[in-house]
Structure 1
């Protein structure tokens, strides 16, 4: 477990500014006009990045010898700057960063068996990180989906991120499927919380009938048996203004 000293804290930057003192304390000068010194405006400091999520992982890097090298336990976090720049970082302490990967709408993250997540950093290095459990992986990937939604300015039909590929043939139109759906809501402040209460029971859908809209059908297409994915459905399709839905689907 990482110590408190190792926690990332980017929100403690000093935001206060000092007014400049008067540079000249005039002596008497007979014919000189009165000149008032106007201090220059202090440059506006950039907003420090905020931590969307952070957790401990076991990290592995892929070497030139085509082998995975253990890099030990470290932290992984997603940082947000004004909800316009999102970066994944691996770090040992808050001042010792190992690598970073800028997140954009097309950045590929691949969930693998045994709670692994694979990605490529900004330098082209391939990494695979192992989370402590499945829920930790799902929570982290959910924040990746949220980051991409902000980058799309929430103007999209849906965003899909597979968590578990599953096995067998992919679902197509007219297939009937029994699934379990976990629903989340995303508020304007970026907070994600579960909308589910009580026991979640499997429900049966037939793809193509649009029982819950086209975007939901699109979320099911391509899934396989025992697969799992996270889908964020765009606000424009359902006229959702404040609450935005994230759906975690298990077949």
Structure 2
């Protein structure tokens, strides 16, 4: 993953620090001629913070066209972030500074996990995409980072925020049912997943009081 981050940062001139946040993709702008400041010239504006590569991985991409998914080849999928501005996005990209599509991440953003290490989402142009990850772990890591980006996109969150990591098996759970879950909790530190705070044995919960960020 670190090689993929370095490659993406090299292609697009992005900050690799995991502590940064995500914003729209930007190419490196060509250098402009220097202007001599005058008394009437406005004060120079500070450059916008550079988005960071929070996670980058290789995926097989498919775009929904004319009623079916059409293979787009193996591409890079990255989650970019800019914590100060609370702007986050998914970027699909090729080589040679070639962005394919972007999708702004917000509280209501939906990434649907499907069987076979697939996941689907709509980009900023409302085009439907399906991604196939190389492994189950790669898909789970992507969904974890996506969930954190959704949380970080708002200054206050007063509702339960969930994100599927894997598809479950067995009978569907309905509201009012009582279930047993094994869960792991992490602290959110510096906008990122921090240390484990709770690794429970099987515990009994009401579906109406379900915990977030759990596995299994």
Q: Shorter-chain TM-score: which interval?
A: 0.7 to 0.9
When residues 202 and 115 of structure 1 are mapped into structure 2, their CA distance, relative to the original with a 3 A threshold, is farther
Deviation at 1:104, TM superposition (A): 1.8
* Structure 1 unmatched runs, 5+: 24-36, 209-213, 220-230, 232-246
Deviation at 1:105, TM superposition (A): 1.5
Aligned to 1:135: 137
User: In structure 1, the residue corresponding to 2:161 is in which secondary structure?
Assistant: strand
How far, CA to CA, are the matches of 2:161 and 2:200 in structure 1? Answer: 24
**Aligned residue among 218, 222, 235 for 2:210:** 218
Deviation at 1:186, TM superposition (A): 1.2
**Aligned residue among 155, 168, 173 for 1:170:** 173
When residues 172 and 76 of structure 1 are mapped into structure 2, their CA distance, relative to the original with a 3 A threshold, is same
Deviation at 1:83, TM superposition (A): 4.3
When residues 175 and 7 of structure 1 are mapped into structure 2, their CA distance, relative to the original with a 3 A threshold, is same
**Does the 8 Å contact 1:5/1:93 carry over to 2?**
no
Matched, 1:7 2:8: yes
User: In structure 2, the residue corresponding to 1:73 is in which secondary structure?
Assistant: strand
Aligned to 1:93: 95
Give aligned pairs, total. 196
User: In structure 2, the residue corresponding to 1:192 is in which secondary structure?
Assistant: strand
How far, CA to CA, are the matches of 1:172 and 1:3 in structure 2? Answer: 41
When residues 39 and 73 of structure 1 are mapped into structure 2, their CA distance, relative to the original with a 3 A threshold, is same
RMSD across aligned C-alpha pairs, in angstroms?
A: 3.2
User: In structure 2, the residue corresponding to 1:162 is in which secondary structure?
Assistant: coil
Aligned to 1:205: 204
Aligned to 1:226: none
How far, CA to CA, are the matches of 2:79 and 2:5 in structure 1? Answer: 18
Deviation at 1:201, TM superposition (A): 6.5
* Structure 2 unmatched runs, 5+: 17-27
Deviation at 1:192, TM superposition (A): 1.3
Deviation at 1:94, TM superposition (A): 6.1
How far, CA to CA, are the matches of 1:152 and 1:5 in structure 2? Answer: 28
How far, CA to CA, are the matches of 1:4 and 1:192 in structure 2? Answer: 18
Q: Deviations over 1:194-238 (max 9, x none)?
A: 4169xx674131427xxxxx7xx234xxxxxxxxxxx2xxxxxxx
Task: Calculate the TM-score normalised by the size of structure 2.
Answer: 0.76
User: In structure 1, the residue corresponding to 2:164 is in which secondary structure?
Assistant: strand
Aligned to 2:214: 248
How far, CA to CA, are the matches of 1:4 and 1:50 in structure 2? Answer: 9
Task: Calculate the TM-score normalised by the size of structure 1.
Answer: 0.66
Aligned to 2:81: 80
How far, CA to CA, are the matches of 1:76 and 1:61 in structure 2? Answer: 14
How far, CA to CA, are the matches of 2:62 and 2:47 in structure 1? Answer: 36
**Does the 8 Å contact 1:6/1:92 carry over to 2?**
no
Higher CA-based Rg:
1
Deviation at 1:133, TM superposition (A): 1.4
How far, CA to CA, are the matches of 1:22 and 1:40 in structure 2? Answer: 8
